[in-house]
Chain A
C-alpha cells in the first residue's frame, strides 16, 4: 500500500535560518510523483515543489528545494532563509503513476513556526 510519513508534528526556526521538513514514502510503483504543499491557517493548499521519480536532479523552486533520496524513499523539503510568512502547515504528498489526474496521498503534515 502507498503511504506518506511525516514524523515531525512541529518545527520551530528563527527568521533567516534554513529548515528541513522530513518526508518518507512507500510505494511499489516505479513511476510516481512527489509534491509539497503549504497550508496557511486560511485553509488553501498552495503547491510548492514537485519531484518525479525518474528525475535525475533535485527539484528547486526559489527558496524551496527537495532533497530526493530514492534508495531511502525520502523527499525532504528544505526551506532556505525562512521568513515569518512561512509559518504554516506543510504536507508531503505522492501521486501514483503517470496517468492524468490520479489521486494524491498526503502525510499528516508538519507545522512550521518561524519567529523573529
Chain B
C-alpha cells in the first residue's frame, strides 16, 4: 500500500464529454505527477504539481489540465474527450525530503477511462 488513492477506479464517457479524476497523495508528499498509460505501453508523463503550482508538463494538449489543493491532493481534468484518451491514468506522489537524488514516486492504482 503506497497511501496514494485515486478515484474513481473505472469510468466510461462518450466522445466530447469532460472528465475529472482525483488523487490523494501520500501523507507528507507535496508533489503530484499524472501519467497516461495506453494499453500495452509504458506510462507517459502528463504534468506535475508542486505546492499547488504546475511544475513541468509533457507533450499533452491544453485540454488536459490540473489542479493541486492546499492538502496536496490533485485533480486531472480532460475536456473534449477523444477516443484515444481511453487509458489508465496514474497519479504518483513524492517529496523532496526523500533526498534530492532519489525522490521516489509512489503510485496509486489508477483510474481506467474508457471513451466510447
Name A's B-contacting residues (CB within 8 A): 4, 31, 33, 35, 37, 42-47, 50, 52, 54, 91, 93, 95, 98-109
Contacts and interface: CB of A to CB of B under 8 A. Distances in A.
Given A33-B103, A100-B100, A44 B33 contact: no
Contacts, number: 80
Given A42-B109, A50-B104, A101 B94 contact: yes
B7 to A, nearest CB: 14
Nearest to A55: B101
Contacts of B101: 31, 33, 52, 54, 98
Contacts of A4: 42
A108 B41 contact: yes
Contacts of B22: none
Contacts of B40: 108
Interface stretch (B13-21, B43-51, B74-82): B43-51
Contact of A103 (B42, B45, B110): B45
Nearest to B45: A103
B28 interface: no
A47 B43 CA distance: 14
Interface in B47-68: 48, 50, 55-56, 58
Nearest to A37: B107
Interface residues of B, number: 33
B104 to A, nearest CB: 5
Contact of A104 (B88, B105, B109, B112): B105
A95 B58 contact: no
Contacts of A54: 101
A45 B35 CA distance: 11
B37 to A, nearest CB: 8
